[in-house]
Amino acid sequence: MIDTIDRIKQMDLWCGPVEPLCVSGGITNSNFAVQDGGKRYFVRVGEDIPVHGVMRFNEVAASRAAHAAGLSPRVVHHEADIMVLDFIMGKTLDEHAVREPGNLSRILSLVKSCHHDVPLYYRGPALMFWVFQVVRNYAAVLREAGSRMIPMLPELEQQASLLEQATGQVDIVFGHNDLLPANFIDDGERLWLIDYDYAGFNSPLFDLGGLASNNGLDDVQEKWMLEEYYGQPVTESSWLSYQSMKCASLLRESMWSMVSELYSDLDFDYRAYTEENLARYERAVKMFEEARTG
């Protein structure tokens, strides 16, 4: 951490001496706040993470495009593993805040804009985020690393195959792909959508399912969300496709945490996070089975 802080201090970007302050809460990157020249900046530090498919060139391009689309703060500077953004003064949401009807409506507008507006501004090569390929890769990574979860993998892989088949044909949009509550900031006037580590082209159902599963939406809220997003009633087939992708989003989050148990150096209880998401996944699979069997 000392070396990282010294690197930030020594960047040519600053007008004068700075004292980076560690910002807690990140589970992928190290984050800092910097006051310089009367302005405040947010500094994200993190190298490429191949086991998670995180490529910083993509994060920078997506962040710039999201700013141009009016969703995210301006990228002030980037170099190798450091990205500096304007600091947004506001409150990060929690699950309860996301579920509030007024917030949920505003959040859905942000998600729609991410899906349809951000690619208009994205420049350069972009990644594809297909959750079932992510899951397949995670299973291989876990086996190679001797994970404690290896005995569970055959069952999880079999379930993933069934979920992929049930998803069926999908539309392709530009997904955020990490709609945790802390990735929304309320500055008192508007909401911001931040953190584009995993951004890439994907089915809209992944973001919608992730939004629901990460924030504890109930059936009524989920069906409202789908009808509001697509502008049409939810059918049996569309509900099944959505439920399968919702399960997949939780399976991916669980396996992301399993891999992070092995590879992340951040001070975070990934084991507990794995267990929490596996429990959510198991509940979601039961709902999926009910929808599939009628």
286 CB neighbour count, 10 Å cutoff: 11
Note whether 73 and 149 are same-domain residues. Answer: no
Rounded-to-5 percentages of helix, strand, coil across the chain? 55, 15, 30
Q: Give me the pLDDT at residue 291, please.
A: 83
Q: Give me the pLDDT at residue 110, please.
A: 97
Q: Is 60 helix (H, G, I), strand (E, B) or coil?
A: helix
Note whether 133 and 18 are same-domain residues. Answer: no
Note whether 195 and 289 are same-domain residues. Answer: yes
Q: How far apart are CA 5 and CA 8, in angstroms?
A: 5
- Whole-number mean pLDDT of the chain? 95
Q: Retrieve residue 5's tokens.
A: 């802080």
Q: Residue 11: which domain range? A: 2-86
245 with 203: CB under 8 angstroms? yes
Note whether 63 and 191 are same-domain residues. Answer: no
Give the whole-number percent of the chain exceeding pLDDT 90.
93
Mean pLDDT calculated for residue range 60-74:
98
Q: Give me the pLDDT at residue 246, please.
A: 97
Note whether 35 and 162 are same-domain residues. Answer: no
Question: Which residue among 27, 61, 86 closes a domain?
Answer: 86
Confidence of residue 245 (pLDDT cuts 50, 70, 90): very high
Mean pLDDT calculated for residue range 191-219:
97
The CATH number covering residue 174 comes to 3.90.1200.10
Q: pLDDT at residue 1 above 90? A: no
Is residue 184 within a helix (H) or strand (E), and if so which, with residue range? strand 184-186
pLDDT in tens, 111-137: 999 999 999 999 999 999 999 999 999
Q: How far apart are CA 132 and CA 239, in angstroms?
A: 19
Note whether 53 and 175 are same-domain residues. Answer: no
Note whether 43 and 159 are same-domain residues. Answer: no
HSE of 213 in the Cβ direction (CA atoms, 13 Å)? 33
pLDDT in tens, 68-84: 999 999 999 999 899 99
Q: pLDDT at residue 195 above 80? A: yes
pLDDT in tens, 12-49: 999 999 999 999 877 788 999 999 999 999 999 999 99
Q: How far apart are CA 150 and CA 12, in angstroms?
A: 46
Whether the CA torsion 216, 221, 223, 228 is positive or negative: it is: negative
The conformational region for residue 130 under phi > 0 = left, psi -120 to 50 = alpha, else beta, is beta
Q: Give me the pLDDT at residue 269, please.
A: 95
75 with 63: CB under 8 angstroms? yes
Note whether 113 and 77 are same-domain residues. Answer: no
Note whether 138 and 225 are same-domain residues. Answer: yes
Confidence of residue 290 (pLDDT cuts 50, 70, 90): confident
How many domains does the chain divide into?
2
Note whether 143 and 41 are same-domain residues. Answer: no
Question: Which residue among 63, 86, 109 closes a domain?
Answer: 86
181 with 92: CB under 8 angstroms? yes
Question: Which residue among 86, 116, 133 closes a domain?
Answer: 86
Enter the DSSP assignment of 233: P
133 CB neighbour count, 10 Å cutoff: 12
Note whether 280 and 245 are same-domain residues. Answer: yes
pLDDT in tens, 151-177: 999 999 999 999 999 999 999 999 999
Note whether 48 and 140 are same-domain residues. Answer: no
